[in-house]
Each structure stands twice: as C-alpha cells, then as structure tokens.
A and B are shown apart, each in its own frame.
Chain A
Amino acid sequence: MIVCPNCSARQLDGTIFCIECGADLINAGPPESTRELNVSAIESHDPLPVSGPLPAGEPQSAPMVTLVVVSSRRRIEVDLSDEALIGRADPTRGIIPDIDLGPFGGYDAGVSRRHAILSYRDGTYRVEDLGSANGTFVNGRQIEPMRATPLQHGDEIMCGTLLLRLEIRNRQR
C-alpha cells in the first residue's frame, strides 16, 4: 500500500496518480529515494510550527498566522516573530524552508526550493516572491519578485499552482 502524501488516501502499490485527489505518487513518493526524503521531512519537521498547537496561556505577542493548503485543507501554523521562508525542503542542498510545501504537493505544483518570504512588521503581513520559477500570486494577481506585497486576512497566496489561504489568528484583540 502507498499512502498519498497529499490526501492520505491508501492506494495500491504501483499507482501512479492518487485515485482520490490526483496527486503524483511517483515524484512525491513511492519506493524511490525521494519518498524517504519527503517522509523524513514530514516527520522530523518540528523546528517549524507545522500544525503545532498554540502554546497555552502565552500572551499573543508572537504574530501567529495559519496558511491553509486549499487542495488538502491542511493547516500550517506559522510563527512570524521572524521572517518565514516558503519553499520546498532539499536537504542535500541544505535548504530547509520554514514553511516546507514539499509534503503538500509542492514539487508537482511548481514550488521553488526558495519560493517566497512571509513576514510581519509594523502591523502588516507581507509576502515577497524570491524570483521563483513559477511565480507567486496574491488573489490571482502575480506579484512582482523581490518586492514585499501586503496581505490581509483571507488573502489567497498561490505559489506556482499551489493555493494557500492566509488566516491571521490574533487579528481581533
């Protein structure tokens, strides 16, 4: 059995595209070396707040946002005390982005290893494309590379063809 990295559906060995969601199970996965990389990336990815619960009782000092991967409805919790790199992990090149879209079908969707930067400063959330191969889009509009574009709650950020929705957690105080 293979488990689809995108939607977790169980598939017969030898399946090339997931029957449920259509994700590529070869580049994302099965008995090739890439799968080991991806699996380990998912499992050992603690430094990053992938769906980690909010620390209880902590004052809402750290700007927390959630990126919802629309295709799988998975939620990625992000701490933006510091800038966060959006990309695809490539341990052989030493690229470990803060927000690794590899496990969410990033390779298929054309997410670059170093795709964009998500940041929070002076009360404003921003995204900046790092000259990625397939571009970054905010609400369907391609943003200029190397220029931080302000974001609001509910905005759709598309990296390559992977659609994310920004949810700003503590926007109401």
Chain B
Amino acid sequence: MAPGIHLQQTLSRTTLAVGDEPQLIYVLLEAHAEGLVQQLPQLPLNLCLVIDRSSSMRGERLTQVKDAAARIVDQLGPDDYFSLVVFNDRADVVIPAQRAIKKADLKAAIAQIDAAGGTEMAQGMALALQEVQRPFLTRGISRIILLTDGRTYGDESRCVEIARRGQSRGIGLTALGIGTEWNEDLLETMTASENSRAQYITTAQDVVKVFADEVKRLHAIFAQQVQLSVETRPGALLRSLDQVRPFIAPITIVEEAERRWAANLGDWPDTGVQGFLLEVVVPPLPVGDHPVLKLTLRYHLPGANLRDQTRELLVRVSLRPAEEVAYHVDATVKHWLERLVAYRLQASAWKHAAEGRFEEASERLQMAGTRMLNVGDAALAQTLQQEATRILRNGTVSEEGRKRIRFGTRGLIGPVASDERETTT
C-alpha cells in the first residue's frame, strides 16, 4: 500500500427519522498514517529552545530543564539543527543554530546556564526566530520550543506578534508553562495557530519527558500542510469543527465558497490518531439514503517527494419513517463530544467570570465537572467542582486551578498520555 493518510468516519447517528425539522448529527473524523510511512526518510528538524532563566527558575526547575535540553541534543541526528536562546531581563544566544554534531560541546554550553533576573520574553522570542531562520532547509520541520515559569510584563503583544510572524513562515511554537505563575492567556494566544500548542507542566520532574516526547513527535512528522475541506449538500450547515485527538483545539474554519469550508490542520506525526469532531445540521430530507458531506484531505508527503495528495470521504445518512428508527447515539462519538463540551463550558465560564457573572461561571464549571466525571477524569472533575464553589463564594479561582482546568480539559497537562491508534478501533 502506498504511504498516505487513512480516514475513518463515525456518526452520532446513521439513521435519522423523517421529519419537518432540521436535525443535528456529529461526525467523528479520525485519521492515521497508513502504508509503511515509517519507511519514508525522517525529515530534518530545525529546533530552537527558548529557556526562561529568571531567578524563579533557580534550583530544581533549571536543573531539570538543562537535563532535558541535554537529552534533546542526544535525540537529534546529524541532519538536525539545534539552537538555544535564554532570556531574563535580556536575551542571549547560547548556542547559535548548527547541526547537532558536536554534542559534547552543545551539552557543555547548556550546563553553563544559570538563573538570575526577571522575565522579558519578547527579546528571547525575537532571538529565537532569528536563529531558527538561519539554516536553509529545502524541506524539514522548524520549531521553537519555549519554556517559562513567569509573567512577562509590557511586551506581551510583541511576543504574540513574533510568534505569528514565525507561524506565517511555517515555524510552529510549542509553549510550555511550568509552575503556577505564568500567563496562560499569553501562551494560549501565542500558540493559537496550526503546528503550535501550549502545555502545562505541573512539576519539574516532568520536564525531561515532555521535551523528549515533543522531539519524538516532531521526528515522526510525515505529512505536512494538511488541509481539510468540507462540502455540504444544499440546506446542510457545518456548525463547528474542532480537533479532539490527540488533544482538544478549536480550529479556524473559513467558508471559502458557498457550502464549502476549509481548515488548515498543520503537520502530522505518524504516531497516533488525529481526531476531529464536526457538528452538522441536516435539513429535512425524504426517506432514503442521502450524502450529507464530502470531506477532502489534502497534504504533502515530503519524505516521498509527493505533493498535493488527497483522500476523500463521503458522509451519508439514511432517513427512515420515525416509527422504524430507534434513537441511538454512538458511544465513541459521545465520549469525544463530552470532552469537547467540558472544554467549551470552562471557556465560557472564564468569559462569564470576566463579566462579573459568577453564578453563571460557577454553573459552567460545575457542569464541566459533571462532563469530566462521565468521561472518567475524576481528579479534574474535583478541581472543577472546587473552583466552581470558590468562584461562587469569592468571585475568583486559584491560579493553579484555572491552569489545571484550562489545560486539563484539552488534555494538555504534560506529559500528555500517548494517544495511540488501538484505542479507536
């Protein structure tokens, strides 16, 4: 079998009752690599680490981060590029972009880093963008990995601007927050783009694993510039599209033409499943089988020198007289939807809280807790419950609770559980 991407659909309901009203269906779209993509040559990696070395990093945090950076050097191959930028009140290039060949020298430079001073992130980001653009790669993956434990003051918008500039040139950003002091709004805004994400590291001991996992994931990328287009039948409507696996992320969809939506999904590793949930409004239809959506995935396989590969999938529903239709909802679809709903509820809770509507915020958090309890995350459900009560009483939530909720509902508290293929089928 030629290497490519396999698509699989699961509908909340495949048989609908005939009626006069529009109905909602949920489509779970799951994708994974097929056809020995592991035999494709690995794409070169161009990685820049940006490390916060403000005084609050002193001690175990910095020790673990340095250890983790040294392990990354070990993971890199001779075709991979590596650079390292540190920042406190100012920023310095510790290792200029170079091939990861003289590993002992690279590690010696990493060992020299010490902690002092404040946190001025934009300087660090600016230098990182400069370093990561130095190597000339005809193909490969360029990424900035940022790690911080504090708030940067006054240069937030510059941080976002630099992140966007990189993203527009195909340079993704992984932003890792450690401890409870960092600004999750900023990291989430900086990473609101494909090939980027923010993640919460609760303890220093997790740093090594999170870094190693990220490099492993980047090395496993086989498909690039993956794009999804969704065409609906007349009268049907795509109400939302969100990523649900391996973690939850809202996706920007653009209605390119009448009844045709498009979304950029970034680069994909071959290690797990990419899952997406679509909410589709189906218009009233007569008895019979009807196509509702046409999904087209377009991507490049640079390792095989193949561009613009496509895979198509037609989503059909069957309409039957109401008395013949048993109302049944697919459990897998419901599971991923339930996680997504918990994520949406907490997001709406923060909005309500910002407007001073603490009762509504509390209700949303509480309901998110119920949803997480149902999907089997009792610890997060309890955090949601505690913060729901706290916000009702005090009008605030704890820094840690908010981070646990924001990143926990997305599945982005690190190390992130590996989301392997066998769990789907």
* Residues of chain A having any CB pair with chain B under 8 Å: 1, 11-17, 21-24, 26, 30-32, 70-73, 105, 108-110, 140, 156, 158, 161, 163
Contact between B281 and A12, CB atoms less than 8 A apart: yes
CB <8 Å contact, B344 and A22:
yes
Interfacial residues, chain B to chain A (CB-CB below 8 A): 12-13, 16, 19, 21-26, 281-282, 327, 329, 333-334, 337-338, 341-342, 344-345, 359, 362-364, 366-371, 373-374, 381, 385-386, 388-389, 392
The 9 lowest CB-CB distance pairs between A and B, nearest first, are: A14-B24, A22-B367, A12-B24, A14-B23, A71-B363, A31-B327, A17-B341, A13-B23, A22-B345
Q: Can you report 25 A-B residue pairs in the complex whose CB atoms are below 8 A from each other? A: A11-B24, A12-B22, A14-B16, A14-B282, A15-B24, A16-B26, A16-B329, A16-B334, A16-B337, A17-B337, A22-B342, A26-B329, A70-B359, A70-B362, A70-B363, A70-B366, A70-B392, A71-B363, A72-B363, A105-B367, A110-B373, A161-B369, A163-B362, A163-B366, A163-B388
Q: Are A14 and B12 in contact (CB under 8 A)?
A: yes
Question: Please, how many angstroms separate the alpha-carbon atoms of A16 and B363 in the complex?
Answer: 19
Q: Which residues of A contact B370 (CB under 8 A)?
A: 22, 24, 105, 108-110, 161
B23 and A12 contacting across the interface, CB-CB below 8 Å? yes
Per the bound structure, the CA–CA distance linking A11 and B12 in Å amounts to 16
B18 CB to closest chain A CB (Å) equals 11
Whether B364 lies near A22 (C-beta < 8 A) is yes
Q: Name the residue of chain B whose CB is nearest to the CB of A26.
A: B329
Residue of B nearest to A12 (CB): B24
List of B residues within 8 angstroms of A26 by Cβ? 329, 334
Roughly how many angstroms separate A156 CA and B359 CA in the complex, as a whole number? 13
Q: Are B341 and A22 in contact (CB under 8 A)?
A: yes
Q: Which residue of B lies closest to A17 (CB)?
A: B341
A14-B16, A15-B24, A140-B389 known; A71-B327 Cβ under 8 A:
no
Q: How far is the CB of A158 from chain B (nearest CB, A)?
A: 8
Minimum CB distance partner of A165 in chain B: B392
Residues of B within 8 A of A109 (CB): 370
| Chain B residue at minimum C-beta to C-beta distance from A134 | B373
Q: How far is the CA of A12 from the CA of B22 in the complex (A)?
A: 7
Q: Which of A1, A17, A32, A140 sits near B21, CB closer than 8 Å?
A: A1
Most chain A beta carbons < 10 A, residue from B12, B327, B363: B363
Which residues of A sit under 8 angstroms from B368, Cβ to Cβ? 22
Residues of A within 8 A of B25 (CB): 14
Q: Is the CB of A161 within 8 A of B381?
A: yes
Residues in A with CB closer than 8 Å to B362 are 70, 163
How far apart are A156's CB and chain B's nearest CB, in angstroms? 7
What's the least CB distance linking B256 to chain A, in Å?
25
B342 neighbours in A (Cβ, 8 Å): 22
A143 to B399, CA, bound (A): 28
Distance (Å) between the CB of B358 and the closest chain A CB? 11
Q: Assuming the A-B contacts A12-B281, A163-B389, are A21 and B337 also in contact, with contact meaning beta carbons closer than 8 angstroms in the complex? A: no
Contacts of B327 in A (CB 8 A): 30-32
User: B26's closest neighbor in chain A, by CB?
Assistant: A16
| Cα–Cα distance between A30 and B24 once the two chains are bound (Å) | 13
Q: A1-B21, A14-B16 are in contact. List 15 more A-B contacts (CB 8 A).
A: A12-B22, A13-B23, A14-B13, A14-B24, A17-B341, A17-B371, A21-B364, A22-B342, A22-B345, A24-B370, A32-B327, A105-B370, A108-B374, A161-B370, A163-B389
